[in-house]
Structure 1
Amino acid sequence: MRKMFLKRDWKNIKDVFLDNNEVLLNDNYKDFKIELVYSPAVDVPFTFGNEVFLRITDSLNNVYEYDVVFTSDYEYMYNLISDKFTQFECDYIENNAKTVLQIKEELHKQELEKQQKKEEKHLDEFNNYIATGDINFLADCKEYWQEKKNLANTLKNYLLCEVNACATSQLKIAFVLKVVYDKELYRVDDYKNIYDYAYDNFNIARGTVSNWLKVVDNFGVLNNETGFYSLDDRLKNFSITQLILVRGLTIEQIEQNNITSDMTTRDIKKIVADELKLKKIASTVTTDTVSDIPENPEDIEELYADCDKADVITDSNNQANNYDVHSFINPPVSNDSDNNVSADNIEKPTAVIDIQGGLTLSDEQVKYLNELFKSYKDKDIKLMIYVD
């Protein structure tokens, strides 16, 4: 077999390399391209005796590199490069040869793992300091924290752990409070309602209790055997904060709007606000209803209040009529004094749209009706129009 490069070409090879810091030794040696390349980390001129890359490129343009010391001696260089190529060829055939890209990825991965271990070490030390107040735990941290990014990462990771633990704890509390509410266990301690019980004993505000019970009522799954709740599997990755944000929606609406647990609070608020605006428009439409809807998607509490009242006619949350936490949402239907009809026998409509004559349905109203029709697939729907 012909040689990789010939002695008679050696002077020309050296001259080309000295001029360009690289040279092609063979463009097709056993289907590989063989080159020498000088690419130092620090820009210094090449001199014989420096390390260079023996670069080998296969027919698929995968690049492999080996370190070699480049001298002016032909015999030495030929034997060195031949040995390196033989080593490469064996690895290549056995699929053990690593491309430059693979090596870079491995080095990057190793660096990330090294950095992660450092971060975990200093986070553990910071946790120990917080738990004990012993400043000796911070001895190794001070130098590491001289770079602001390192300090920021440590504190961010600490806060994430604490917030996640707090969120998990809040959800557990919500599940247990719901059982106390369901079984009226607050009365055992002579409390008239769940709010006073939660505030006096645990300093939990009325609004927080209301939000938590709403979350469990909408998204909790009751285990009839134990009498306790757990979160619906479809929302298992959602935090308590995210669940509170979507408490005015059904799980189906959450899925239809592609709301996921990896979304930011801002993105979730925007989607929820749009959905609640649509619900408000669909339930109580008048000529100036739209102007009453808050424009800022961050301010959704007013929408929740209006849409909670609208649950009477949309019945989207399936609340029981005796649910004290939001008793104003679904008040009992009054008896019809003229016909003496029981409230239980009154069939409430699934949706009601009030609109003045002479107006056309808005895009939001049409969208709402289409979504409503689709949600009752294969069922008969009666569309009735009343004129007062």
Structure 2
Amino acid sequence: MKFSDLGLSPKLVEAIDKANYENPYPIQIEAIPAILQKRDVLGIAQTGSGKTASYILPILESIQQKDINKSRSIPVLIIVPTRELAAQVEEVIRIFSEYLPRKVKSMAVFGGVSINPQMMKLNGTDILVATPGRLLDLLSKNAISLADLSTLVLDEADKVLNLGFKEEIDEILSRLPKDRQNILFSATMEDSVALLIDKLLKNPLKIDIKSEEVTPDLISQSAYLVSQERKGPLLRHLIQEGDWNQVLVFTSSIRAADNLTAKLNKNGIQAMAFHGDKSQGGRTEALKQFKGGTLRVLVATDLAARGIDIKFLPYVVNFELPRSPKDYIHRIGRTGRAGSEGEAISLITEEDRHHFKVIQKKMKRWVELIDSGNIDF
């Protein structure tokens, strides 16, 4: 099965190809045609299953058929639980929409930052990715309108509810037009999620993607216990003392990738960032230099790095842990290919320890945690 078999236009399929996405995941094969047909969809799927693209691609397809939005009325709303996920989803939108003939304006809005710059940029937004609290803030200030909303996506519904956003979600739903398409994704089917499904969805297509038991190849893995403020110095020490070259470093956000890249370059380690905020030309050039061995460090986000395929990549570093064990396995699986040796290194804070244990349990392999306090750097 190919993306071209799912009802997507040639232009969007071309954009998918340029984003280095090859074959669709199972959830995309089921969800994309249904969403294109304007059906409600319920997806039970873990992070790393490909669910984000499964709703972003058909939404982008539908927007291509619409006139340019010149108002503050939002046609597509995606609700997510955290600012990190909001930024990641918006990055996916930009990666896929870069080559589409009808330009798509997307925005991620969340709390913890000033609301005024967000309000100034909202006009003409086609797809708004928002956390519940900030969305209600914008509505209270009449900065946006949901009167003409055609598609609602609620991603990671279980986490949205577990974080205590039930009242906010109820308030948001009360402001939406009744005639709309609803798409809901959740990793679990808790009672609270089941109640929301009954309230929200009408005759939905139900997709249940079982998580895979995946064991990584025999890659040399190590992990360092380190405080957040000492992560950068430790990484620089490891690269310089080990004389590492061709190091692929993963961060969880575009901002973290840019900040880390700047600090590496400032300290004499040649690095380039690789993420959805970079132009296609910029990403292509960075990848060309990295593959050719003239660039020492490539700092990437998970979404942009999906298309990186280097047969003899010696080092992968998790500067920040991914959100799911499957993403961790995908990351470290980029090294140790084609019979060559590979090394995967993770930098773990105290706050990360429990999550790292979950990842190791999923891998069925334990990784020694080295105390970086005993290393002089």
TM score, norm. by length of structure 2: 0.20
Structure that is richer in helix per residue: 1
Who wins on radius of gyration, i.e. which is larger? 1
